[in-house]
Amino acid sequence: MPDSGKQSTVTTVFLSFSLLGFAALWFSPFVVSVVTALSGLAVLFYLPKSFPRYNRIILLSSVLLLLILFVDFVFHLGEKTTSAKFLLMLGLVFILQGHSYFFERASRQKLSYYFIVIAAIVACINVIAVAGYLSDKSYFDQMLLQSKSIPIPNMHHIHFGIINAITILGIVGQLVGDKVDKKMNILLWVFGIICLLSFHILSSRTGLLAFYAGSFITLVIYVIQHNAYKILLFGMLGLTSLAVIGYSLSSSLKNKVANSMEDINSWGKGDEINHKSMAMRIEAYKMSVAVLIENPLGVGAAAQDQILQEMYEKKNTLLYKENRVGPHNQLLEFGVKYGWIGIIGIFVFYLGWLRLLPNTSAFFWGVVVVFLVSVQFESLFERQASIYFSMTLLPLFYHLFRNQQLIEQ
């Protein structure tokens, strides 16, 4: 229920600081930390009101994860890694609950304006990154053939691909669902076109896979919710055409596909897997599973890297030392560090978001799929930036798209 009067002003102030934190992802980790701390103060001030019933499972699972990291912190006092991971998870709880509380109280129009600002920020970063790419296009295209990436200002390229994928789905959802005013409609179209074109130039393979998986699920659920089965064929043709056109027009995307095929062809061919990112990750998954089997209670955050490297040696890996990467999978990441209880905590957290799907429009389904696909290839709870945007965008899109299909009917 949206607030009015003084509380509405408090909500507006919080959302303004939240947007500042989102923009700061590209220029100031310190500002992101300050906004996270402010979220924590807001959550503590509004206890127990800050825990909406709809996300009880998500709350309990995030608190469980926080307790797991706290135990690791207590048993390894003085270790910078354990304290840093605990603070990151504490920040996750603060950001998630702060946004859940204030998004719940914001009007749909206010949330739409909030999202417009996010879309504008993402579109601007896209323009800057594409301009950088075009300034030395031949060099970056060559680097893409070597499993490198196009640089994004002050952000990991995989993270930006995920943000882009979610933003595009959100823009389409706003255009299709909410009846926004004409000026907002024009802005959404402009930002959407910029993000969509830039996405196929800049995005990592993780972002591309997550986007098309999320778009496919969105299409299927939309057809079912609206009983519009004729749209399924046109939608599939549209997604296929988008992928084909993107591939045809973007040399960077062509090189990513070529590099991926070379990567796949290296599987099972001895030390050819070196310097092949997907092959290296598969090897990392194997090592992580081996560590988990030997250490069902986990090895702790501080010892993770050392134990993994020892397992690489024990299993006589064909990877050179510089290619022996970490899990890049959130389930395995927590499994190695905190054992099966860490995996259970993450699984229940995911389950909490899946539980919300029945009362939302197809576009929230797509956003959740983007998130679930992404965490199979990137550990989103290990960095401040990925925690902030994940725990901002997931509750935002839940509130934008919940019960939307009922409103439309």
Average pLDDT for residues 347-353, to the nearest whole number? 92
* Residue closest to 364 by CA, chosen among 225, 196, 235: 225
Q: What is the pLDDT of residue 344?
A: 93
If one compares 60 and 344, the residue with the highest pLDDT of the two is 344
Average pLDDT for residues 115-126, to the nearest whole number? 97
pTM for the structure as a whole: 0.92
Residue 205 backbone phi and psi in degrees, to 5: -65, -35
Q: What is the pLDDT of residue 407?
A: 39
Reported as a single tens digit per residue, the pLDDT across 156-189 is: 999 999 999 999 999 999 998 766 677 788 999 9
Contacts of 125 (CB under 8 A, 6+ apart): 26, 152, 153, 155, 160
Average pLDDT for residues 98-114, to the nearest whole number? 92
Spatial distance between the Cα atoms of 339 and 130, rounded to a whole number of angstroms: 41
Spatial distance between the Cα atoms of 270 and 284, rounded to a whole number of angstroms: 15
* Residue closest to 302 by CA, chosen among 76, 86, 66: 76
The structure tokens 């702060």 sit at: 98
When pLDDT is cut at 50, 70 and 90, the band that residue 366 belongs to is: very high
Spatial distance between the Cα atoms of 25 and 388, rounded to a whole number of angstroms: 8
First to last CA, the chain: 21
Residue 395 has pLDDT above 90, yes or no: yes
Q: What is the pLDDT of residue 180?
A: 63
When pLDDT is cut at 50, 70 and 90, the band that residue 406 belongs to is: very low
Q: What is the pLDDT of residue 172?
A: 94
Spatial distance between the Cα atoms of 406 and 88, rounded to a whole number of angstroms: 37
Reported as a single tens digit per residue, the pLDDT across 215-227 is: 999 999 999 998 8
Q: What is the pLDDT of residue 35?
A: 95
Q: Residue 245: exposed, middle, or buried by beta-carbon count in 10 A (0-12, 13-18, 19+)?
A: exposed
Q: Give the chain's mean pLDDT.
A: 90
Q: What is the pLDDT of residue 2?
A: 61
Q: What is the pLDDT of residue 6?
A: 64
Token representation of residue 255? 């090189």
Q: What is the pLDDT of residue 77?
A: 77
Contacts of 364 (CB under 8 A, 6+ apart): 173, 356, 357, 397, 398, 400, 401, 402
Reported as a single tens digit per residue, the pLDDT across 261-316 is: 888 888 877 778 888 888 888 999 999 999 999 999 999 999 999 999 999 999 98
Specify whether the CB–CB gap between 1 and 105 falls below 8 A: yes
Reported as a single tens digit per residue, the pLDDT across 1-53 is: 565 566 788 999 999 999 999 999 999 999 999 999 999 999 888 877 777 77
Token representation of residue 173? 């959802």
* Residue closest to 127 by CA, chosen among 34, 55, 191: 191
Spatial distance between the Cα atoms of 266 and 274, rounded to a whole number of angstroms: 9
Q: What is the pLDDT of residue 179?
A: 60
Residue 405 has pLDDT above 60, yes or no: no
User: What is the number of other CB atoms lying within 10 angstroms of the CB of residue 283?
Assistant: 22
**Kind and range of the H or E element at 261?**
helix 251-266
Q: What is the DSSP letter of 274?
A: T
* Residue closest to 188 by CA, chosen among 167, 166, 203: 167
Average pLDDT for residues 70-82, to the nearest whole number? 86
| Peptide bond connecting 2 to the previous residue in cis, omega within 30 degrees of 0 | no
Contacts of 242 (CB under 8 A, 6+ apart): 196
Contacts of 399 (CB under 8 A, 6+ apart): 103, 104, 106, 111
Spatial distance between the Cα atoms of 87 and 113, rounded to a whole number of angstroms: 31
Reported as a single tens digit per residue, the pLDDT across 189-216 is: 999 999 999 999 998 889 999 999 999 9
Specify whether the CB–CB gap between 18 and 8 falls below 8 A: no
Residue 246 has pLDDT above 80, yes or no: yes
Average pLDDT for residues 347-361, to the nearest whole number? 91
